[in-house]
């Protein structure tokens, strides 16, 4: 009781302005990039009732803090500029000057490890790193942190693209930005806020997750586990695991290098569930919410690996939920472009595969049909069988950029790989028509088309013969299937040999025409 009384007295004696002086979130800082052509939201904190003035490029905006000390101002739309300018924010007793502010295109980059994957992890990118000198491409790399409740700030700083900075940049986001910069000749700002190995649900608010029954159950389970979390018990369990690890680690050290295998992983002290990064809403609170309101052109997203497993809530429900959640909070239906999962694991030699990987890939494709303002980079040709982190990030970033260039910047070009449009059963075959064929479909390797499979009503899949019969149409048939009812393409985690591309060489997305059970070849 004595301690609480002393603390209360100490707080009363603090100056009233100690925690209320003029302050901005970390991303409103030197070298920042503002979005061109849209009203620009800027906000921060000061004493309640304080007058705040913003000055930028001849505009002067006045606002006032509310009862909680929060202020928000809106700058008028600005023209793009590569010339660094000052943004001044001031109250009666303090002035903050943000220097070298550019105006261009701002994109938010998020997801899991393949978005985190940095330039310095690929030896072939060393030449790019050493010669990097692109002051108009700038990154804000957000810290990886967790929070129980929505936060309003996050650590990080804006960096220009130089040899000393680019190594830590997201490779996908960098190549996306580089392609935009080359085509548009405008400053590009990337805000990267991503964390490896995490499901889509942790990047979505618990409020939004609670509107969908399957994800609501995830939230309820996390909240219940958090309520029952005992720090003392967690520490005792941790210390027991740590003791066992020390014994195992000492044994590992004594083994010869050729027999010891992988070193035992040191245990970590357990966190309360609502501070654990993979739990529903946790990364939204800490790493997404602080940026809500920062004026963007759009978002790029590379995630899904953590959701490609049996029993996961269908991705064509969870990702659209995240998109709606973000757009609602930003009050902006901004563009959202995502990466379809790459080919992974050993090639599958047989038809009728029921791996959850292609199922998630196909659910990603279906999001394009149900959620406006979205786009998908197909990369089932550049993955690696033994590595869930394929090193070719150049093509991933470039393919995302093609969507933006076509949809956001009105460039007329082929911007997607072929996508399934419709199927018609005709004379013992199935004719499939594709969008995004460009000047015409073709085989990447000039060989017969592969990885098409076909089935009759018995649900038994057979490899099929596929022929291009029109610039946008393929006919699929099999001597083993007299009355086909369904067709699939590239339906495997690693569909080695899949070779249907459009005139620009962009690969065709996995698809299926059946509506049979996800885990069984038997029709409903």
Is residue 10 situated within a structural domain?
no
Say if 24 falls within a structural domain.
Answer: no
Q: Which whole-number Å values give the CA distances from 412 to 264, 421, 503, in the listed order?
A: 54, 21, 15
Least confident of 16-30, 86-100, 202-216, 436-450: 16-30
pLDDT tens-digit map of 110-148: 999 999 999 999 999 999 999 999 999 999 999 999 999
Percent of the chain with pLDDT over 90: 93
Bridge partners (DSSP) of residue 298 are: 107, 335
Q: Which of 352, 364, 349, 262 is nearest to 305 (CA)?
A: 364
Q: pLDDT value at position 7?
A: 37
Q: Tell me: do 387 and 400 sit in the same domain.
A: yes
Residues 455, 402 within the same domain: no
Q: What is the pLDDT of residues 159-210, one digit of tens each?
A: 999 999 999 999 999 999 999 999 999 999 999 999 999 999 999 999 999 9
- Sort 456 into a burial class: Cβ within 10 Å, 0-12 / 13-18 / 19+: middle
Greater model confidence, 497 or 3: 497
Share of the chain above pLDDT 70, in %: 95
Average pLDDT for 3-29? 58
Q: Are 365 and 376 in contact (CB under 8 A)?
A: yes
Q: Name the residue range of residue 305's domain.
A: 104-215+279-416
What confidence score (pLDDT) does residue 3 get?
39
Residue 123 placed within a domain = yes
Choose the weakest-confidence range: 63-77, 228-242, 510-524: 510-524
**CATH code where residue 401 lies:** 3.40.50.1110
Asked if residue 274 lies in contact with residue 12, where contact means CB atoms within 8 angstroms, the answer is no
Residues 444 and 482 in one domain: yes
Edge-to-edge order in the sheet of strand 465-470: 419-426, 429-435, 473-477, 465-470
Confidence band, pLDDT 50/70/90 cuts, at residue 407: very high
- pLDDT category at 517 given cuts 50, 70, 90 is low
What's the whole-number average pLDDT of the chain?
A: 94
Q: Distance between CA 263 and CA 19 in Å, rounded?
A: 46
Within a domain: 5: no
Inside any domain, residue 3: no
Q: How many helices (H) and strands (E) does the chain have?
A: 11, 23
pLDDT at 215: 98
Neighbour-count burial for 235-263, b at 16+ CB within 10 Å, e otherwise: eeeeeeeeeeeeeeeeeeeeeeeeeeeee
pLDDT given at position 2 = 38
**What's the pLDDT band for 515 if we cut at 50, 70, 90?**
confident
- Position 95 in a domain: no
Verify that 402 and 432 share a domain, yes or no.
no
Residues 469, 326 share a domain: no
Domain end position, chosen among 393, 416, 439? 416
CA pair distance 322, 33, nearest whole angstrom: 25
The percent of the chain in helix, strand and coil, each rounded to the nearest 5, is 30, 25, 45
- Over residues 98-121, the mean pLDDT reads 98
Quote the CA–CA distance of 456 and 186 in Å, as a whole number.
53
Quick check: 103 and 89 in contact, CB under 8 A? no
pLDDT at 523 over 60: no
Tally the domains of the chain.
2
Extended strands (E) in 369-524: 374-377, 419-426, 429-435, 442-443, 452-455, 461-463, 465-470, 473-477, 486-489, 500-501, 511-512
- SS3 label, residue 399: helix
Neighbours of 12 (CB within 10 A): 7
Query: Do residues 488 and 506 both lie within one domain?
Result: yes
Q: Render 111-177 in DSSP notation, one character per residue.
A: ESHHHH-BGGG-GGGHHHHHT--EEEEEEEE------SS--S-----EEEE-TTTGGGSBHHHHHHH
Q: Let me know whether 134 and 123 are in one domain.
A: yes
Residue 202 lies in a domain: yes
Please check whether residues 390 and 474 belong to one and the same domain: no
Residues 411 and 430 in one domain: no
Give the predicted TM-score (pTM) of the model: 0.93
Q: How confident is the model at residue 4 (pLDDT cuts 50, 70, 90)?
A: very low
Q: Is the pLDDT of residue 518 over 60?
A: no
Domain assignment present for residue 49? The answer is: no
Angle formed by the axes of helices 171-184 and 394-407, nearest 10°: 40
**What is the arithmetic mean of pLDDT over 504-509?**
98
pLDDT of residue 299: 99
Region 310-316 average pLDDT: 95
pLDDT in tens, 468-487: 999 999 999 999 999 999 99
Boundary of a domain, candidates 379, 397, 416? 416
What does DSSP assign to residue 369?
Answer: H
More confident site: 178 or 18: 178
pLDDT band at 516 (very low <50, low <70, confident <90, very high): confident
Q: What is the mean pLDDT of the segment spanning 414-435?
A: 97
Reported as a single tens digit per residue, the pLDDT across 372-400 is 999 999 999 999 999 999 999 999 999 99
Q: The domain spanning residue 457 has which CATH number?
A: 2.40.10
Asked whether the predicted pLDDT for residue 408 surpasses 80, the reply is: yes
304 and 387 in a common domain: yes
Q: Which of 416, 438, 472 is the last residue of a domain?
A: 416
Same domain membership, residue 194 and residue 140: yes
DSSP codes joined into one string, 203-251: GS-HHHHTTSHHHHHHHHHHHHHHHT--HHHHHHHHHHHHHHHHHHHHH
Residue 95 C-alpha from the chain's centroid: 36
133 and 168 inside one domain: yes
Cβ-based neighbours of 450, under 8 Å, separated by 6 or more: 466, 497, 498, 499
The whole-number average pLDDT for the span 206-223 is 98
């Amino acid at each position: 009781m004595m301690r609480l009384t002393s603390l209360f007295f100490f707080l009363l004696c603090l100056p009233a302005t100690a925690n209320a002086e003029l302050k901005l979130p970390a991303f409103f800082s030197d070298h920042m990039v503002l979005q061109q052509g849209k009203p620009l939201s800027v906000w921060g904190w000061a004493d309640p009732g304080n007058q705040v003035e913003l000055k930028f490029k001849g505009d002067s905006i006045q606002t006032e803090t509310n009862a909680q000390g929060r202020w928000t101002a809106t700058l008028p739309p600005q023209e793009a500029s590569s010339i660094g300018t000052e943004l001044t924010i001031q109250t009666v007793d303090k002035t903050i000057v943000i220097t070298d502010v550019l105006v261009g295109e701002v994109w938010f980059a998020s997801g899991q490890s393949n978005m985190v994957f940095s330039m310095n992890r690929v030896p072939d990118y060393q030449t790019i790193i050493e010669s990097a000198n692109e002051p108009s491409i700038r990154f804000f790399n957000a810290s990886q942190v967790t929070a129980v409740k929505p936060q309003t700030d996050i650590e990080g700083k804006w960096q220009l693209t130089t040899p000393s900075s680019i190594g830590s940049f997201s490779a996908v986001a960098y190549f996306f930005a580089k392609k935009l910069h080359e085509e548009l000749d405008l400053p590009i700002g990337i805000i990267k806020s991503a964390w490896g190995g995490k499901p889509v649900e942790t990047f979505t608010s618990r409020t939004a997750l609670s509107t969908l029954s399957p994800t609501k159950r995830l939230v309820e389970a996390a909240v219940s586990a958090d309520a029952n979390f005992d720090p003392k018990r967690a520490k005792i369990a941790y210390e027991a695991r740590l003791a066992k690890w020390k014994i195992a680690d000492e044994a590992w050290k004594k083994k010869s290098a050729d027999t010891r295998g992988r070193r035992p992983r040191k245990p970590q002290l357990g966190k309360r569930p609502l501070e654990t990064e993979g739990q529903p809403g946790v990364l939204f609170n800490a790493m997404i919410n602080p940026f809500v309101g920062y004026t963007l052109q759009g978002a790029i997203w590379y995630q899904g690996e953590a959701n490609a497993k049996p029993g996961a809530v269908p991705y064509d429900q969870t990702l659209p939920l995240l998109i709606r959640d973000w757009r609602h909070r930003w009050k902006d239906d901004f563009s959202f472009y995502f990466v379809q999962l790459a080919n992974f694991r050993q090639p599958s030699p047989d038809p009728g595969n029921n791996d959850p990987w292609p199922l998630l890939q196909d659910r990603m494709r279906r999001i394009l049909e149900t959620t406006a303002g979205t786009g998908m980079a197909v990369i089932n040709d550049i993955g690696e069988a033994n590595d869930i982190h394929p090193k070719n990030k150049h093509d991933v970033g470039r393919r995302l950029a093609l969507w933006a260039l076509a949809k956001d910047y009105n460039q007329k070009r082929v911007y997607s790989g072929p996508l399934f449009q419709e199927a018609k059963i005709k004379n013992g075959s199935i004719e499939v028509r594709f969008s995004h064929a460009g000047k015409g479909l073709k085989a990447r390797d000039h060989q017969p088309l592969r990885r098409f499979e076909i089935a009759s009503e018995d649900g038994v899949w057979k490899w099929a013969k596929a022929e291009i019969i029109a610039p946008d149409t393929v006919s699929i048939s099999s001597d083993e299937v007299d009355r086909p009812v369904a067709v699939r393409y590239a339906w495997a985690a690693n569909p080695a040999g899949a070779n249907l591309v459009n005139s620009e060489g962009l690969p065709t997305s996995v698809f299926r025409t059946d509506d049979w059970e996800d885990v069984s070849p038997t029709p409903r």
